Structure 1
Amino acid sequence: LAGLVAVLDLSGTSSLDPVGILWGLGAAVGLTVYFFVSARVDGALPPIILSAGGMLVGAVSLGLVGLFGILPMHAEFGSGSLAGVKVPWWVALLGLILIATVFSYTTGVMAARALGSKVASFISLTEVLFAVLWAWLLLSELPGPVQLFGGLLIVLGVVLVRIDELRSARIRR
């Protein structure tokens, strides 16, 4: 967690927004539930069903938030772009649903089951690392020394958790 905080580099922040902190804590609770539920193997739902259920809950939640005006929403039905090609809006939406959502979440559940909830949750911390790396490559936002140190701490944490899992498995045999 220290590595995660270092990668985010909060040193330039003058104050923290309490609403943002509450949203972050809510996301952390949701992520915790995701890893525990998705990593269950005994009597578990197939990954596609589990992913569909999660997406249904998300869609209903977003629909209610939009319906009550908490989050302004609107849609346009013009053309879109998919892999640099101009396509009808429904083709772009279908690509977003199937590739960025269904495929990603289903393979994520399969990976969490293969790795176990502890290892999978630590590996997910590398998402922040990759966001920093992509910002560096695509936007030329060079990570600072604190962020690089944080990235090393995250990778070290993942390695230590994996070593612990392997050691625990050897002891159980």
Structure 2
Amino acid sequence: MSYLNGAILIILAGVLWSTQGLIIRLIPDTGSWAILFWRSAGMLPVLMLWIGLAARGSIMTEIRSVGWAGVLGGLGLVMAFSGAIYAFQATSVANAVLLFAASPFCAAILGRVLLGEGVSGLTWFAIALAAFGILVMVGGGLAGGAMDGNIAALASALGFAIFTVTLRWGKLANMLPAVALGGVFSMIAGAIALAILGKAVLIPLPEIAISAAMGAVTLTGGMLLYTIGSKVVPAAQATLLSLVEVLLAPLWVWLLLDETVSRGTLIGGAVLLAAVVLNAYGGRVSRVQGAHPLGVARLTPRIFERRGCP
């Protein structure tokens, strides 16, 4: 595959991901736990098919191979997926996708604390810059009554950071079986939460179809496109190409739902994106690359190419 084709695939992945906030807004009466359940149900068949094709039919062998690292990473994805869905419902789409971009910085800090990974001075500066941008954005959410949505978006970023760090801890070269476990755990968590809340798993058929299609096409389809494209595109450039999602996600809801962006989101988001760009060109981006199938800075196979690390 040529570099150009790989870059096109990554951009297409970002376009697919950028539609998720809009899709969730189009089914406002469906609770976040029901969306989590049915989106995960749509995601799993596509993932299993891909894993089976890659492993030549040995799906369960691939899933068992991830061990406890994959289990812990899958649990992190439950937090990531549920937080992201709630964030799209409770705060602006622009706020949500921008706050998701904190994932690689959370991964850098967790990797330093839990795994003893080194963090460069430039990365620490980028983390501080990102923190300032987040404070500006969250402060705007407090004033606008969307604090719970902002907290959910940050929790989602933390969940994907946990996923990333557990994969590093387990030295897993293939993330997709762990993602599949995350889908299974998300279905279980969604069903339990719905039972506790006294709500039915079965929702109107059109909403089931929309949620499942979102999981199969926009989430997993984008993830697979990104994974293929990242084989020929360097990690730093892939991260920057995926910023197309952050640009397009607010555009869709503005065009179709007339959702505007606050000044705090614009200022804080610009600072946060500057930190992402700075980190991507810091020379050691692969050490702190985050994993966020709903936001910028996703996991790629190059996450495991930690130059200078044992």
TM-score interval for Structure 1 and Structure 2 normalised by the shorter chain: 0.5 to 0.7
2:194 touches 2:201 (CA, 8 Å); kept in 1? no
Shift, 1:55, TM fit: 0.6
2:133 touches 2:267 (CA, 8 Å); kept in 1? yes
Matched, 1:62 2:190: yes
1:135 touches 1:141 (CA, 8 Å); kept in 2? yes
Paired with 1:24 and 1:134, the residues of 2 have a C-alpha distance of 19
After superposition, what is the alpha-carbon deviation per residue over 1:45-76, rounded to whole angstroms, capped at 9, x for unaligned? Answer: 52331211111111111122223x23623424
Shift, 1:157, TM fit: 0.4
Change (3 A) 1:108 1:60: farther
Amino acid at match of 2:179: S
Alignment partner of 1:146 out of 240, 264, 269: 264
Which one has a larger percent strand, Structure 1 or Structure 2?
1
**Residue matched to 2:164:** 35
Task: Count matched residues.
Answer: 155
**Partner SS for 1:75:** coil
1:66 touches 1:72 (CA, 8 Å); kept in 2? yes
2:134 touches 2:268 (CA, 8 Å); kept in 1? yes
Higher mean Cα deviation, 50-59 or 146-155? 146-155
Change (3 A) 1:11 1:138: same
Matched, 1:51 2:179: yes
Amino acid at match of 1:30: G
**Residue matched to 1:4:** 134
2:136 touches 2:267 (CA, 8 Å); kept in 1? yes
After superposition, what is the alpha-carbon deviation per residue over 1:92-145, rounded to whole angstroms, capped at 9, x for unaligned? Answer: 5653442134334555677899738xx96x999996665444433333333243
Change (3 A) 1:15 1:139: closer
Sequence identity percentage: 19
Alignment partner of 2:218 out of 100, 119, 124: 100
Q: With the length of structure 1 as denominator, give the TM-score of the two structures.
A: 0.58
Matched, 1:75 2:202: yes
Alignment partner of 1:137 out of 255, 273, 276: 255
Paired with 1:124 and 1:108, the residues of 2 have a C-alpha distance of 9
Q: Which runs of 5+ in 1 are unaligned?
A: 82-88
Paired with 2:286 and 2:222, the residues of 1 have a C-alpha distance of 29
Aligned-pair RMSD on alpha carbons?
Answer: 4.6
